[in-house]
């Protein structure tokens, strides 16, 4: 039995104000297990429970000269533990929400990145197919699909018939469809 085990909490707090390490040790030994059991029950995590209790006692030791516990020590420790558990559970909840949020965002971002890369690859493939078209056919296709000219405007601009413009567009579209199907066949 230690010299301080018979002292009341009020007396131990008085000695704690005098920086008495033995008084602090007695407070620690008197309440550590009780606080730990409550914390472990509330958090369902022994490591976190131990950390919470250790933090409470560390705080008491750091504030030993200025700490003013007007109620009884047991009630003070219970309230200190209660608020630390509430804060811990709130942090857990925020972390869980953040992980769920970023998980969703990452899956969306991953998907959109893949789609973007696929789209970029498709654009490159179409550009190569268009570049390999015969000159007149490529020019008609670009005026029609890339510049948005009507068949009549293209016919007037190139001094050819609208039927010829239509034939060039159809030929270009056939080459592009075949090339794109070939690309997707091997993906």
Q: How far apart are CA 18 and CA 65, in angstroms?
A: 7
Q: How far apart are CA 156 and CA 169, in angstroms?
A: 15
Contact 9, 72 (CB under 8 A): yes
Q: Per-residue confidence at 2, pLDDT binned at 50, 70, 90?
A: low
pTM of the model: 0.53
Class of domain 9-98: mainly alpha
- 124 contacts: CB under 8 Å, gap ≥ 6: none
Q: Give per-residue pLDDT as tens, 9-66.
A: 889 999 998 999 999 999 999 999 999 999 999 999 999 999 999 999 999 999 998 8
Q: Give per-residue pLDDT as tens, 124-176.
A: 888 888 889 999 999 998 898 888 889 999 999 899 999 999 999 999 989 88
Q: How many CA atoms lie within 13 A of 152 on its CB side?
A: 0
Alpha-helical segments (H) within 44-161? 46-62, 73-131, 135-141, 151-158
pLDDT of res. 116: 63
pLDDT of res. 108: 53
Domain positions in the chain:
9-98, 132-185
Q: What is the CATH architecture assignment of 132-185?
A: Orthogonal Bundle (1.10)
91 against 122, higher pLDDT: 91
- 112 contacts: CB under 8 Å, gap ≥ 6: none
């Amino acid at each position: 039995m230690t010299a301080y085990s018979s002292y009341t909490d009020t007396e131990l707090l008085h000695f704690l104000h005098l920086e008495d390490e033995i008084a602090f040790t007695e407070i620690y030994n008197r309440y550590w297990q009780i606080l730990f059991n409550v914390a472990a029950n509330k958090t369902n995590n022994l490591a976190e429970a131990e950390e919470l209790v250790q933090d409470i006692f560390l705080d008491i030791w750091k504030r030993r000269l200025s700490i003013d516990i007007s109620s009884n020590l047991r009630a003070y420790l219970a309230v200190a533990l209660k608020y630390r558990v509430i804060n811990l559970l709130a942090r857990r909840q925020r972390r869980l929400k953040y992980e769920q949020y970023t998980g969703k965002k990452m899956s969306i971002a991953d998907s959109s990145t893949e789609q973007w890369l696929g789209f970029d690859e498709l654009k490159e493939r179409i550009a190569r197919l268009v570049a390999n078209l015969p000159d007149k056919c490529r020019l008609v296709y670009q005026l029609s699909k890339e510049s948005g000219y009507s068949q009549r405007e293209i016919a007037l601009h190139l001094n050819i018939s609208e039927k010829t413009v239509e034939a060039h567009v159809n030929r270009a579209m056939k080459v592009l469809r075949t090339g794109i199907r070939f690309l997707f066949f091997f993906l």
